[in-house]
């Protein structure tokens, strides 16, 4: 049975488990960054931490995907990813070209490679 | 070569622009590839929330109060599994630690001495990976006084967009073929990766990308829930240390 409460109490539940569990980290970030300016040394480090974090999420989503993407074979995922990267550089770093061509290749490959 | 902020050329519209102009510019620049990708992921969230038994209003409530997709997905997943409040909040909070370094590194660009403190908190409320990437890409070239209003315009439009996207996803739930659904999910990692490469300024940035990319799946399998935060902390620190070591010329 679900512990999820019904009616208006559900909003309090969502507020406590959602808002109160998420936003303090952001607000803490506002407070901690008060004395930093854009060329401070600490910021160089924090920016590298953020960069590595996002890169980790990329490979995790690609190699260990969830949801509908999990049913697509690994080689198709990697192939579509590489074609997106290639098109990005061939079009002199056009995000639209890179992102949508990769997505397009992944969708088409599923229809054409399915046997 | 690391470039100094002063070397970046401000876009042409900045010349003689007021803060109001910058706010409008921020709104106008919102319809873009990254925003479309985010909206697609929120459409996915709306569908997920519908499947978990939330009402449409509750789904939108979660999107606007949390505004970070991984946390929202965990929240809704826990509800679907009938988890207790405390354990759900704990799981959500672990996935949200990653917002801390993102916020610390972007906020200094938004502080200009004019923007009130409470607005800074409102700015942080909507700061997640995409907003961080776009902020790092778009804000540094802008003059000091225009960054905050530009960002304000951009995130206002995004805020409205995710409310609509969540609603749309709730209504469309189960209507999208799984091949297309997979393609839509796939846009997110591809966009993240290409933008990281795009905003990289030097080989140390690329090194952080490479180390993070290797650590991400490994830590996910060994330390789920804190995996992203640890990936960032270890990967970023190693890259930083190697950069210092190279700088010292040894």
Residue of chain A nearest B144, judged by CA positions: A38
Q: Which of A18, A72, A110 sits opposite B65 (nearest CB)?
A: A18
CB contact under 8 A, A30 and B240: no
d(CA A71, CA A53): 25
Write down the pLDDT at residue A24: 95
pLDDT above 50 for B3: no
Query: Looking at chain B from residue 14 to 53, which residues have their Cβ under 8 Å from any Cβ of chain A?
Result: 33-34, 37, 44, 53
ipTM of this complex prediction, to 2 decimal places: 0.88
Q: What is the number of other CB atoms lying within 10 angstroms of the CB of residue B3? A: 10
Q: How far apart (Å, rounded) are the C-alpha atoms in residues B117 and B128? A: 19
- Between CA B35 and CA B41, with CA B36 as vertex, the angle to 5 degrees is 95
Terminal Cα-to-Cα distance of chain A (whole angstroms) = 41
Tokens of B46: 């709306």
Residue B14, min C-alpha distance to chain A (Å): 20
Q: What DSSP designation does B9 have?
A: P
Q: Are residues A50 and A93 in the same domain?
A: no
Do residues A56 and A28 both lie within one domain?
no
Whether A85 and A115 map to the same domain: the answer is yes
Which letter does DSSP use for residue B143 in this model? -
Q: What is the mean pLDDT of residues B217-246?
A: 90
Contact of B231 with B216, CB cutoff 8 Å: yes
Q: Would you say B82 and A2 are in contact if contact means Cβ atoms under 8 Å apart? A: yes
User: What pLDDT shows up at residue A8?
Assistant: 82
Looking at chain A, the whole-number percentage of residues with pLDDT higher than 70 is: 96
Question: CB-CB: which of B92, B99, B120 is closest to A17?
Answer: B92
Tokens read off for B111: 């502080």
For B162, other C-beta atoms within 10 Å of its C-beta total 23
Phi (first) and psi of residue B123, to 5 degrees:
-60, -40
Q: What is the pLDDT of residue B56?
A: 95
Same domain? A41 vs A58: yes
Which residues 62-81 in chain B show a CB within 8 A of chain A? 62, 65-68, 71-72, 75, 78-79
Q: Is the pLDDT of residue A17 over 50?
A: yes
Spatial contact of B141 and B170, defined as CB atoms under 8 Å apart: no
Instruction: Give the confidence band of B115 by pLDDT, cuts at 50, 70, 90.
Output: very high
Chain A residues whose beta carbon lies within 8 Å of the beta carbon of residue B47: none
Considering the domain architecture, whether residues A13 and A41 belong to the same structural domain is answered as no
CA pair distance B98, B233, nearest whole angstrom: 9
SS3 B200: coil
Q: Do A13 and A1 reside in the same domain of the chain? A: yes
List, for residues A55-80, the tens digit of each pLDDT value. Answer: 998 999 899 987 788 899 999 999 99
Judgement on whether residues A83 and A47 belong to the same structural domain of the protein: no
* Binary contact (B212, A99; C-beta < 8 A): no
Nearest-CA distance from B217 to chain A in Å?
Answer: 5
Verify whether the Cβ–Cβ distance B107 to A30 is below 8 Å: yes
Q: Is B88 on the interface with A (CB under 8 A)?
A: yes
Residue A4 reports pLDDT greater than 80: no
Contact A107 B182 (CB under 8 A): yes
Of all residues in chain B, the one with the smallest CA distance to A58 is B189
What DSSP assignment string belongs to B158-198? HHHHHHHHHHHHHHHTT-S-HHHHHHHHHHHHHHHHHHHHH
B16 — phi, psi (to 5°)?
Answer: 70, 15
Determine the structural domain holding residue A51 and report its residue range.
37-64
- Residue B250: band (very low, low, confident or very high) from pLDDT cuts 50, 70, 90: low
The verdict on A51 and A71 lying in the same domain is no
Instruction: Please answer yes or no on whether B211 and A52 come within 8 Å at the CB atom.
Output: yes
Nearest to B193 by CA among A83, A12, A38: A83
pLDDT of residue B7: 56
pLDDT of residue B174: 80
Residues with Cβ within 8 Å of B55's Cβ and at least 6 positions away in sequence, in order, are none
The partner residue sitting opposite B104, judged by closest CB among A32, A54, A55, is A32
* pLDDT reported for residue B2: 43
In chain B, domain spans? 22-199, 200-250
Q: Are residues A44 and A79 in the same domain?
A: no
Burial of B137 (0-12, 13-18, 19+ CB in 10 A): middle
**B207 to chain A: nearest residue by CA?**
A52
Q: Of A10-19, B43-52, B121-130, which gets the smallest average pLDDT? A: B43-52
Kindly report, residue by residue over B163-217, the tens digit of the pLDDT: 999 999 999 888 888 898 888 889 889 999 998 898 888 899 999 999 999 999 9
| pLDDT tens-digit series, residues B8-45 | 788 999 988 999 999 999 999 999 999 999 999 899 89
Total domain count for chain A?
3
Per-residue pLDDT at B1 exceeds 50: no
d(CA A60, CA A54): 10
Gap between the Cα atoms of A84 and A13, Å rounded: 41
- B78 band by pLDDT with thresholds 50, 70 and 90: confident
């Amino acid at each position: 049975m679900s512990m999820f409460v019904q009616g208006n109490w559900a909003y309090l539940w969502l507020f406590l488990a959602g808002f109160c569990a998420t936003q303090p980290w952001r607000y803490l970030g506002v407070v901690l960054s008060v004395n930093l300016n854009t060329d401070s040394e600490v910021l160089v480090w924090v920016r590298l931490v953020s960069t590595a974090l996002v890169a980790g999420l990329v490979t995790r989503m690609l190699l260990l995907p969830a949801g509908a993407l999990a049913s697509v074979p690994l080689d198709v995922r990697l192939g579509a990813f590489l074609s997106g990267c290639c098109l990005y550089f061939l079009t002199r770093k056009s995000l639209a070209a890179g992102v949508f061509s990769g997505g397009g290749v992944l969708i088409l490959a599923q229809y054409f490679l399915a046997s | 070569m690391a470039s100094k902020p002063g070397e970046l050329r401000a876009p042409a519209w900045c010349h003689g622009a007021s803060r109001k102009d910058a706010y409008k510019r921020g709104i106008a620049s919102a319809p873009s590839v990254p925003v479309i990708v985010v909206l697609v992921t929120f459409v996915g969230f709306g569908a997920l929330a519908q499947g978990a038994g939330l009402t449409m209003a509750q789904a939108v409530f979660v999107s606007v109060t949390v505004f970070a997709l991984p946390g929202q997905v965990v929240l809704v997943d826990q509800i679907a599994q009938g988890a207790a409040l405390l354990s759900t909040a704990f799981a959500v909070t672990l996935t949200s630690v990653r917002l801390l370094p993102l916020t610390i590194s972007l906020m200094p660009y938004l502080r200009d001495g004019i923007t009130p403190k409470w607005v800074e908190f409102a700015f942080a409320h909507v700061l997640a990976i995409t907003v961080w990437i776009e902020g790092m890409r778009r804000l540094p070239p802008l003059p000091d006084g225009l960054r905050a209003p530009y960002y304000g315009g951009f995130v206002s439009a995004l805020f409205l967009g995710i409310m609509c996207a969540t609603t749309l996803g709730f209504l469309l739930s189960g209507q999208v073929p799984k091949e297309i659904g997979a393609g839509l999910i796939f846009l997110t990692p591809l966009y993240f990766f290409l933008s990281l490469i795009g905003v990289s300024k030097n080989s140390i940035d690329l090194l952080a990308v490479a180390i993070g990319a290797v650590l991400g799946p490994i830590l996910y399998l060994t330390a789920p829930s804190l995996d992203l935060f640890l990936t960032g902390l270890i990967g970023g620190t190693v890259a930083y240390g190697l950069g210092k070591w190279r700088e010292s010329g040894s």
